[in-house]
Amino acid sequence: MTVEIIKENSIPLRGEFTPPGDKSISHRAVILGSLIEGVTTVRGFLSCDDTLSSAKAMMMLGVPIEIEGDRVRIKGKGLFGLSEPEDTIDAGNSGTTARLVSGLLSAQNFFSSITGDKYLRARPMERIVKPLTLMGARIWGRDGGKRLPLAIQGNKLSAIQYRLPVASAQVKSALLLAGLYADGETEIIEPTPTRDHTERMLSYFGADFEKNGTSVKIKSQKLFKGGEIQVPADISSAAFFIVAALINPNSEVLIKNVGLNPHRTGILEILKQMGGNIEILNERELNGEPVGDILARSSTLNSAEIKGDIIPRAIDELPVIAAAGCFAEGETVIKDAKELRVKETDRIKAMTTELRKLGAEIEELDDGMIIKGKEVLKGAKCSSWGDHRIAMALAVAGTRAQGITEIEDAECVSVSFPGFFDVMKRLRGR
């Protein structure tokens, strides 16, 4: 699939929409909902390739799950009701599925195996295999356990205290799931706080755990109580349209029901620092998660230095922040973001390579990028590198490019935002 974005004298984006449900919360809803005795209903579920990988994984473990659009009905089996899968679990392109489900499988009394597509099989798995092995898990994998596929023989786990070498919500969540079964109290210490959707959902379901600063402690559990989960819209999906509205003159976009988890709002802080005209309206809470509407208007952006503790709070949005930097006055610097190199693809190399094709002045750093802003870019033929966030970030940059911008392999946006290009066309009056 090749998508064309045609530049016609900077077409403004105007209107309102609600992005798809939050991907991170949707994953956790189907995984944790499967561990509850009784029925859990999830509304606002993001039905996309990644989250469906998690749902299919839990179904392979014997959990009845019915999916109708954005509504999911889960007949939970309880913490100890999962069954041995008949085949290898395929996590597709989803690192969240692979890591969280591996943490869960490590504590079961059966054998299982898990793999993924060619992109996921290249991503690092040692970061979960090492601590899970310390807890007593028996895991084998390609490249000495560093890569998928993984073979997991469930085992009786023991609690550990583990200090994460790299800030990672996926690794933290995998260990929390294993900690639900481990003897004793498992403590996970982060180098810097990461998104806490797992902790919030555990709390909502009545789990017993303790959080203090960058430390989370969890004991083995006996029973969760079920309930209904309302998934807020994904701020990572909203980010592309926030930036598109900011960089295109005469634009005004209202993005509704967006999750405003403080560990995910780094994108808003960065864009406001750059001079973005952004307002938060109608703030409220949904099952433990803060939610609000975001109003973004066209703005004159300034450059910024983006580094340090804010990086984990904006890690998924850095590709579109790089796109914003192309139109900011001065030199935007992104540092301390080496984690971008081990996402769905090497996002540092991908963004620098593709934005250069559009005429951007951008320099690749070992841990980030330096972007010199300019008025407009020039349309070109680009590649998504098979990465949904690269495809959408290039589409945003393409709205301020003269001529035609083509993005190859753009169907990968279905990983997190099916219908992304339809929303873009509608807001641009196309």
Residue 129 carries which DSSP code? H
* Euclidean distance between CA atoms 316 and 115, whole angstroms: 23
**Alpha-carbon separation of residue 311 from 99, 102, 167, 246 (angstroms):** 21, 26, 10, 21
| 382 close to 358: Cβ distance less than 8 angstroms | yes
Angle CA 213–266–357, to nearest 5: 140
Catalytic residue among 22, 49, 316, 387: 316
Q: Is 87 a catalytic residue?
A: no
* Euclidean distance between CA atoms 352 and 207, whole angstroms: 44
- SS3 state of residue 66: strand
Burial class (CB in 10 A: 0-12, 13-18, 19+), 286: middle
Position 109, amino acid: N
The answer to whether the Cα torsion of 49, 54, 57, 61 is positive or negative is negative
Active site residues: 316
